[in-house]
């Protein structure tokens, strides 16, 4: 594996070798901790290498860790292990490679959340944590709040829609409201990934898109209408199973609005409501 961690803390390069040895199950002499710019004084035969570089701002060190034939460990597991062992806060890559400003944070207490990081050019580079989902004392100026921008880009399975209108079909964009509806049920079943929260504004958009599905089906060629209708009915059954009839009270309270007279799915609340206030 190869992973770059950014950490707080003093003297991390001098303290990390035993921790990496324990994490990867190798002797300490098999861990080479070296300045990123020092190409001469390295153990090129080491099982684990850690190239370090000093940073400025909210973060103190960049650590590029490379491990060859060692037990598999995820980036999150590595970040948490380093955070706990060295009592530092660790920033590590998110699972959103297309959103460069989003990373994740691991704390010594075992908390993990998403953060908005900002890198400024300089010598050394200056890093600022602008927003964090979890409160971290090492980042006193970070705004602590949810990050809704990470929700929709998360890829969720849509096997029912895929079966009748696969990717690459000329009708794929047309059935977007059904795709979105199926993704909503996938979010419910997975307990609202990635952060166990979902803005009520997005939920309302999802229901509004569900309103459009009958019109979408009418636009499809005759040979697609029946299978797409069957897919819709199956997704509707899943939504019904994952929700409870409450006359729309929970949604109306969260959104500070009334949805009287809307279709049946507007009058049911998720079994695990993902919102805590109007947003």
Task: Render pLDDT for 28-65 as a digit per residue (tens, 0 to 9).
Answer: 999 999 998 888 888 888 999 999 999 999 999 999 99
pLDDT number for residue 276? 65
Burial (Cβ within 10 Å: 0-12, 13-18, ≥19) of residue 128: middle
| 3-class SS string, the chain | CEEEEEECCCCHHHHHHHHHHHHHCCCHHHEEEEECCCCCCCCCCCCEEEEEEECEECCCEEEEEEECCCCCCCHHHHHHHHHHHHCCCEEEECCCCCCCCEEEEECCCCCEEEEEEEEECCCCCEEEEEEECCCCCCCCCCEECCCHHHCCCCCCCCHHHHHHCCCCCCCCCCCHHHHHHHHHHHHHHCCCCCCCCCCHHHHHHHHHHHHHHHHHHHHCCHHHHHHHHHHHHHHHHHHHHCEEECCCHHHHHHHCCCCCCCCHHHHEEECCCCCCCCC
Q: Are 7 and 86 in contact (CB under 8 A)?
A: yes
Beta carbons within 8 Å of 188's beta carbon, 6+ residues apart: 239, 242, 243, 270, 271, 272
Q: How many residues does the chain have?
A: 279
pLDDT number for residue 68? 83
pLDDT number for residue 6? 98
pLDDT number for residue 43? 86
Convert the pLDDT of each residue in 139-163 to its tens digit.
Answer: 999 999 999 999 999 989 999 999 9
Confidence grade of residue 279 (pLDDT, cut at 50, 70, 90):
very low
State the Cα–Cα distance between residues 217 and 36, nearest whole angstrom: 58
pLDDT at 258 over 80: yes
Tokens matching residue 12: 């991390």
> Among the listed ranges 97-106, 181-190, 232-241, which one has the minimum average pLDDT value?
97-106
Q: How much is the average pLDDT of 91-95? A: 93
Tokens matching residue 156: 């969720």
Confidence grade of residue 277 (pLDDT, cut at 50, 70, 90):
very low
pLDDT at 278 over 60: no
Task: State the angle between helix axes of 176-189 and 200-219 in degrees (0 to 180), rounded to the nearest 10.
Answer: 140
Higher pLDDT pick, 71 / 239: 239
pLDDT number for residue 70? 67
Q: How much is the average pLDDT of 82-94? A: 97
pLDDT number for residue 212? 98
Q: For all residues of the chain together, what is the average pLDDT?
A: 93
Q: How much is the average pLDDT of 101-123? A: 93
Instruction: Give the number of other CB atoms < 10 A from CB of residue 12.
Output: 22
Its pTM stands at 0.85
pLDDT at 87 over 80: yes
pLDDT at 84 over 90: yes
Convert the pLDDT of each residue in 61-82 to its tens digit.
Answer: 999 999 987 678 899 999 999 9
Q: Are 265 and 210 in contact (CB under 8 A)?
A: yes
Tokens matching residue 181: 């509806």
pLDDT at 103 over 50: yes
State the Cα–Cα distance between residues 18 and 10, nearest whole angstrom: 16
Tokens matching residue 229: 């209708």
């Amino acid at each position: 594996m190869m992973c770059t961690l950014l950490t707080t803390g003093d003297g991390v390069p001098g303290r990390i070798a035993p921790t990496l040895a324990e994490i990867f199950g190798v002797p300490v002499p098999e861990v080479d901790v070296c300045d990123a710019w020092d190409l001469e004084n390295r153990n090129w035969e080491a099982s684990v290498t850690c190239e370090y570089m000093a940073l400025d701002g909210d973060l103190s060190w960049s650590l590029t860790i490379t491990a060859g034939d060692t037990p598999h460990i995820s980036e999150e597991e590595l970040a948490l292990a380093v955070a706990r062992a060295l009592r530092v806060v660790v920033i590590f890559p998110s699972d959103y490679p297309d959103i460069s400003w989003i990373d994740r944070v691991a704390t010594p207490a075992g908390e993990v959340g998403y953060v908005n990081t900002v890198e400024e050019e300089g010598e050394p580079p200056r890093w600022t944590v602008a927003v964090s989902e979890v409160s971290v004392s090492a980042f006193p100026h970070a705004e602590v709040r949810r990050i809704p921008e990470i929700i929709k880009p998360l890829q969720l399975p849509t096997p029912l829609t895929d079966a009748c209108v696969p990717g690459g079909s000329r009708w794929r964009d047309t059935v977007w409201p059904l795709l979105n509806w199926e993704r909503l049920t996938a979010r419910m079943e997975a307990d609202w990934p990635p952060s166990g929260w979902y803005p009520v504004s997005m939920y309302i958009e999802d229901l509004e898109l569900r309103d459009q599905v009958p019109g979408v089906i009418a636009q499809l060629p005759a040979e697609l209408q029946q299978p797409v209708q069957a897919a819709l009915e199956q997704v509707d059954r899943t939504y019904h199973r994952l929700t409870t009839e409450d006359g729309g009270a929970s949604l109306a309270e969260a959104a500070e609005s009334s949805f009287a007279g809307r279709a049946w799915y507007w009058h049911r609340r998720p079994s695990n409501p993902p919102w805590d206030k109007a947003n």
